[in-house]
Amino acid sequence: MLSQYGPILILIALVLGFAAGNLVISELLGKKTSAIGKADAYECGMGSIGNARLRLSIHFYLVAVLFILFDVESLLLIPWAVSAKFFEAQGVGGIVFTEIVGFVAVLGIGLAYVWNKGGLSWDR
């Protein structure tokens, strides 16, 4: 079973080597010059003001949390998705599906709640 993943390890080594090799070669071969203001962050040619460690809009946080919730719930559907046909062949498809309907309904109610609370509106 695990030997299925062997070729992927070879690919990982190749890809990491390719990416790291390119960066190192370019770092070694590229020219190096310095000038006043060259290492500043780019702000359309003006001198940069402050740094970019700013406070973020709460929306980004909310999106991240919602993503975790829905992603975990979708992940829990994976075992059912893979074996839905098997359940049907065993004659218990309807029962298992009813349970999944209950589970997805919770997901749906959650979505409706967030929607109603305005959590999905970016301009609020």
Partner 1 sequence: MEDFLVILLKVAAIYGGVIGTAALYTLAERKVAAWIQYRIGPNRVGPWGLLQPLADGVKFIFKEELVPAGANKLLFRLAPMMSAVPAMLTIAVVPFAGDMTLFGVDTFGAIAKIDMSAFYVVAIGGLGVYGIILGGWSSNSKYSLMGGLRASAQMVSYELSLLLGILSIVVVSGSADLYDIVDAQSGAIWRWNAFQQPLAFGLFVIATFAETNRHPFDFAECEPELVAGFHTEYSSMKFALFFLGEYCAMIVMASLTTTFFLGGFEVPFWADAPWVIQLAAFGAKTAFFLFLFLWVRWTLPRFRFDQLMSLGWKVMLPLSLLNVFLYGALTSFGAFGD
Looking at residues 65 to 84 of the shown chain, list those that interact with partner 1 (rule: CB under 8 A).
66-67, 70-71, 74, 77-78, 80-84
Closest among 118, 101, 95, 106 to 72, alpha carbons compared = 106
Residue 20 sits in the site that holds partner 1 (CB under 8 A): yes
Total binding residues toward partner 1, as defined by CB under 8 A: 73
Question: Minimal distance in Å, beta carbon 85 to partner 1?
Answer: 3
Whole-number Cα distances in Å, 72 to 11, 26, 78, 93: 29, 40, 10, 23
Question: Minimal distance in Å, beta carbon 119 to partner 1?
Answer: 9
- Collapsing DSSP states into helix, strand and coil, what is residue 82? helix
Query: Binder to partner 1 among 36, 54, 55, 102 (CB under 8 A)?
Result: 54
Query: Binder to partner 1 among 32, 36, 47, 116 (CB under 8 A)?
Result: 32
Joined together, the tokens standing for residue 48 give 């940069």
Contact 28, 22 (CB under 8 A): no
